[in-house]
């Protein structure tokens, strides 16, 4: 009987050293904060920084903001001839979205939905038909994009990663500019402000470079 008692006393004494009852260290470190910058967006004149916050094991939210210059990629494709009277003004870019991670929080495959606003602004100067009046006006092109998509986060090490993503949705295109119109009363050309709006299908493929902590 004494041997049995001694055995149980020794067994419970050795439990901490045997690892029983101890909390096992997590196999996966969850970094809840991510900072990113869009790589391909730079070629479209969009210099935005994104912040993603992991809320649960499955859900995360992402916000982005930045400035917009000219669309270099569109100018290259369309071969637009720059005008001496044209001046590029700083525009704005804002983004808000939500993500679902089916496997690992903040890693691997995810499904996403986001809304993005991007505005390009340009300033023009023109001379009236009489030649004695200079008029300055601002032209802007704005995109309001709603899309859903899929992405994959590839971790290069514990902190640096690449975010590959693609999506499909709708883009509302708004353009405001000044157009010349002939005044039938004075038979002179006048500039009238006009605004147009159109909705088109939107496809996107991109890459973000990020750091998580």
- Set out the domains of the chain in order of their start, with CATH numbers: 28-128+144-169+203-212 (2.40.160.20)
Confidence of residue 124 (pLDDT cuts 50, 70, 90): confident
Residues 141, 134: contact at Cβ < 8 Å? no
DSSP-derived pairing of the beta strands 91-100 and 134-155:
unpaired
Confidence of residue 82 (pLDDT cuts 50, 70, 90): low
Burial track 168-192 (b if 16+ CB lie within 10 A, e otherwise): ebebeeeebbbeeeeeeeeeeeeee
Q: What does the pLDDT look like over 158-209, one tens digit per residue?
A: 999 999 999 999 999 999 887 767 777 766 666 777 889 999 999 999 999 9
Token output for 129: 């038909």
Looking at every residue in the chain, the average pLDDT score rounds to 83
Residues paired with residue 118 on neighbouring β-strands, in sequence order: 93, 143
What was the pLDDT predicted at 12? 52
Evaluate if residue 64 carries a pLDDT over 70.
yes
Q: Which two tokens stand for residue 61?
A: 């939210």
Q: Could you write out the three-class secondary structure of 137-175?
A: EEEEEEEEEEEEEEEEEEECCCCEEEEEEEEEEEEEEEE
| pLDDT score of 131 | 56
What letters, b where the CB count within 10 A reaches 16 and e where it falls short, cover 43-77? ebbbebebebebeeeeebebebebebbbbeeeeee
């Amino acid at each position: 009987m004494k041997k049995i008692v001694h055995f149980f006393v020794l067994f419970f004494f050795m439990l901490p050293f045997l690892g029983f009852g101890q909390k096992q260290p997590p196999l996966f470190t969850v970094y809840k904060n991510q900072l990113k910058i869009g790589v391909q967006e730079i070629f479209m004149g969009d210099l935005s920084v994104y912040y993603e916050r992991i809320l649960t094991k499955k859900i995360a939210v992402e916000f982005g903001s930045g400035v917009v210059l000219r669309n270099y990629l569109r100018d290259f494709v369309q071969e637009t001839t720059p005008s001496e009277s044209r001046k590029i003004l700083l525009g704005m870019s804002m983004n808000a979205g939500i993500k679902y991670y089916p496997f690992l929080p903040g890693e691997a495959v995810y499904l996403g939905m986001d809304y993005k606003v991007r505005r390009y602004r340009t300033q023009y100067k023109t001379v009236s038909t009489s030649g004695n009046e200079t008029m300055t006006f601002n032209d802007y092109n704005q995109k309001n994009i709603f899309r859903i998509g899929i992405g994959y986060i590839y971790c290069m090490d514990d902190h640096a990663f690449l975010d590959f993503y693609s999506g499909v949705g709708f883009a509302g295109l708004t353009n405001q500019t000044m157009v010349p119109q002939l005044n039938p009363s004075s038979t002179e050309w006048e500039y009238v402000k006009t605004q147009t709006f159109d909705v088109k299908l939107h496809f996107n493929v991109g890459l973000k470079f990020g750091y998580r902590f």
